[in-house]
Amino acid sequence: MRSSTSVPVSYQLVIEVPSTLHLPVGRLGEHEFPAGTYVYTGSARRGFEARLARHARAEKRLRWHIDYLLAAPGVWITRIVRSSLEECRLNQAVKGIVTVPGFGASDCTAGCGAHLRFVGASGKSAGRDRTHA
């Protein structure tokens, strides 16, 4: 099931959390999300663009961990990055810390810890762009 071209198979969502949140995240239970910027890494081998469109949509049934975060008030996606790298490699290249162990990593076998990483407190974030897919 391998594609010979470098079509995107994984993606990253850069997510801004404007104020500290306490959210239930499915079976992971309630967790704190300090205000700041997060990077979520996911993959979709089929229906790639549909997946991205789903993330950007507000109305949906909460299914994946990321849905719980994106459904929270004030949380928005600032940037979407498409990649042909394998999901876990892409994730491990992010310099950030795991704040919610297991987040988005239910089927991760590469020891990522989580596929959501906190990359920095928000604040003066210069050059923030409001692109909302």
Chain residues that interact with Zn ion, rule: CB under 5 A: 88, 108, 110, 112
Q: C-beta of 86: minimal distance to Zn ion in Å? A: 9
Q: C-beta of 64: minimal distance to Zn ion in Å? A: 14
Q: 28 vs 108, which CB is nearer to Zn ion?
A: 108
Q: C-beta of 132: minimal distance to Zn ion in Å? A: 26
Q: C-beta of 110: minimal distance to Zn ion in Å? A: 4
Q: 110 vs 121, which CB is nearer to Zn ion?
A: 110
Q: 80 vs 98, which CB is nearer to Zn ion?
A: 98
Q: 6 vs 109, which CB is nearer to Zn ion?
A: 109
DSSP string computed for the chain = ---SS----EEEEEEEE-S-EEEE-GGG-EEEE-SEEEEEEEE-SSSHHHHHHHHH-S-----SHHHHHHTSTT-EEEEEEEESS-HHHHHHTS--B-SSTTTT-TT--S--S-SEEEEE--SS-TT------
